[in-house]
Amino acid sequence: MTLPCNVRGLGRGGGRLLGSGTLAVAAACAVTLTSSPAGATGMQGHMYVTEMAVRSLPPGELRTLLDSRRDLWLDGSFLPDSGYAANDAYGEMAHWEQFVEAYINWIRSSFSPPFTSGAAADHVAVLMGAASHGMLDQTFDTLLVDRAAELGDDTSELDTGIDAWIVNDLGRKENPPIVVDTQGISQVFATGFGYDVSPDTIMSGLNTAKQAIGAVITLLAKNDQVFRDASPWAVTHYLDAGTPGSYPYSVPVVAGYMENIWRRLQGDHAMNRAIIGTWPNDGAADVPVDHASVSSFVTLFSGHGLVPGSVTSDSAFVQDAEGNRVPCEVRTRGDDWAGMIQLRPQADWAYHATYRVTLTSGIASLYGEHLASPFTLQFTTACAPGDEASCATAQGGGEGGCAISQARGSGAGGWWPVAAAAAVWVAARRRREGAQNADGREGRPSKRA
């Protein structure tokens, strides 16, 4: 039987530059900041994930280009949040797929392929940093932040808190020089949005954001325990590769997005590698059954902007082992084009049951392209309480095993040595400090009309 789903959108929403606590510190440092809608990771976190994604790319033109332009993609990684520092709407615009596509079109109209040298390559590097920011906000907000809130964390200052944790947990104190071509970026907003923002305004926003990054490094990181106390679950999971939405989870998703954008820059609009990450991953076991928890939602990320109207209960659905479609609510997240699809069950999944997720060729990209063949994944839910022994699963523990990006094809291997080193560092620090491991909402965007 076929059961209809409600189809809703999450709309657009921005990140916070810094939380209220940081605002007070920044004011003392003569840094004027503007707060924006809650959510998102912080700017140090964005630079970190961008760097890990670049390192994980396979050898080739894109990797070579980015390896020699580190400051440019670091600047791009906080370009979207710099708009909040400038109190200008360009910041919100830069978080989403419409900006990515506008930047692609501007590069293609301003330079000649293959865009691997000179000013063209410089802008590609900035684009990749900004795109990383937007995609990380989607993975982090919809999976990790919402889960942390479910488990009782105070997530109102999580963006600032994580930046302070990174300084101490990973020893990262990135605060790069501002080297971007703000004249070119101003033209991207003019041609892509019909929006007038001056190069000086963008430069002012970037410089103010840079001051805020410095305030976190020099001041707030010294008192990061207050953020750890407020978010005990998030602090023990944001670097955990098995936690959906964590930085290790997000790295291959962001890298997959970069690879799709590079192909789009070259005029390749095929959607054969469009799905860059999922939760649950294909073959996952022990998936939670609670339909009200983000841990039970099926979430898929796309390397192409998707036409929201093409994502319906007919083109995105879940079936049980007998082939019956399971009632769900279909949601998308994005601006004019969606970067995420989420299927929310309307009732609890059955215990120890297998489900199949399907995206059909009815889903269209902003280029009018469609999936060449259906994308599918399969997952199995957790055992009923008290019945674990009789329904033992191949994948154990936690919240469904490792949630690794799907359909990447290559390039993920370089991340894992870095993740392992980070895990050792964090574990050692927790042992020294005696940190307590505390285990256990659609995020910040508004709903699309």
* Three-state secondary structure of 350-398: CCCCEEEEEECCCCEECCCCECCCCEEEEEEECCCCCCCCCCCCCCCCC
pLDDT of residue 389: 76
Distance (Å, whole) CA 260 – CA 408: 10
**Does residue 364 sit within a domain?**
no
Residue ranges making up the domain that contains 83: 16-235
Bond from prior residue into 280 cis (ω within 30 degrees of 0): yes
pLDDT of residue 445: 38
Query: What tokens were used for 217?
Result: 């490094």
pLDDT of residue 374: 96
Segments in the chain below pLDDT 50: 1-38, 393-449
- Give Cα 308 distance to the centre of its chain: 19
Q: Which distant-in-sequence residues (6+ apart) come within 8 Å of 442 by Cβ?
A: 10, 142, 146, 331, 333, 342
DSSP string, 134-202: HHHHHHIIIIIIHHHHHTT---TTHHHHHHHHHHHHT-----------HHHHHHHHHHHH-----HHHH
Which of 414, 417, 406, 419 lies closest to 63, judged by CA?
414
Which of 156, 125, 173 lies closest to 40, judged by CA?
156
**Does residue 435 sit within a domain?**
no
pLDDT of residue 39: 52
Burial of residue 93 (CB within 10 Å: 0-12, 13-18, 19+) is buried
State which H helix or E strand residue 319 sits in.
strand 316-319
C-beta separation of 264 from 311 below 8 A:
no
Distance (Å, whole) CA 174 – CA 190: 30
Residue 448 bridge partners (DSSP): 9
For the chain, how many structural domains are there in total? 1
Which of 121, 25, 116 lies closest to 72, judged by CA?
121
pTM for the whole thing?
A: 0.83
**Does residue 54 sit within a domain?**
yes
pLDDT of residue 446: 29
Q: Tell me the backbone φ, ψ of residue 178, rounded to 5 degrees.
A: -85, 110
**Does residue 327 sit within a domain?**
no
**Does residue 388 sit within a domain?**
no
Residue 265 exposure: Cα atoms within 13 Å on the Cβ side: 27
Distance (Å, whole) CA 362 – CA 316: 9
**Does residue 313 sit within a domain?**
no
Q: Output the CA angle 19-24-28, nearest 5 degrees.
A: 140
**Does residue 150 sit within a domain?**
yes
**Does residue 5 sit within a domain?**
no
